[in-house]
A = this chain, B = another copy of it.
Amino acid sequence: MPGGTRGAADLVAREKAYCQELRKSGEWVHIWRCVGQYANISVFDVADNEALHRILWNLPLFPYMSIEVTPLAQHPSDLLVGEEVA
């Protein structure tokens, strides 16, 4: 990451603020830490693919991330509408 230790801390802080803003807007539905890894599993509820790409592309840490997207739909055993896991 650019800018040394201070630059890194700044990036992580901006990432956290960005995440919490989207959690409040209801688009970033879930986020879990993968145990023992600097990684997370998240679930998004967005209008369409364009919206999801915009959210991920604008993550402050996007240039340093490896992201995999799995499209999700409602499961017959569930009562919720479709979300997208990233």
Tally of contact residues, A, Cβ under 8 A: 41
CB distance from A63 to the nearest CB of B (A): 8
Partner of A34, one of B33, B43, B71: B71
Over the window 23-41 of chain A, the binary record of Cβ atoms lying under 8 Å from chain B Cβ atoms (1 yes, 0 no) is 1000000111111110011
Q: In the bound complex, how far is the Cα of B26 from the Cα of A9, in angstroms?
A: 34
Q: In the bound complex, how far is the Cα of B32 from the Cα of A56, in angstroms?
A: 16
Contact assessment for B86 and A33 in the assembled complex, using a CB-CB cutoff below 8 Å: no
Contact assessment for A72 and B35 in the assembled complex, using a CB-CB cutoff below 8 Å: yes
Binding site for B on A (CB under 8 A): 16, 19-20, 23, 30-37, 40-41, 43, 48-50, 52-53, 56-57, 67-78, 80-86
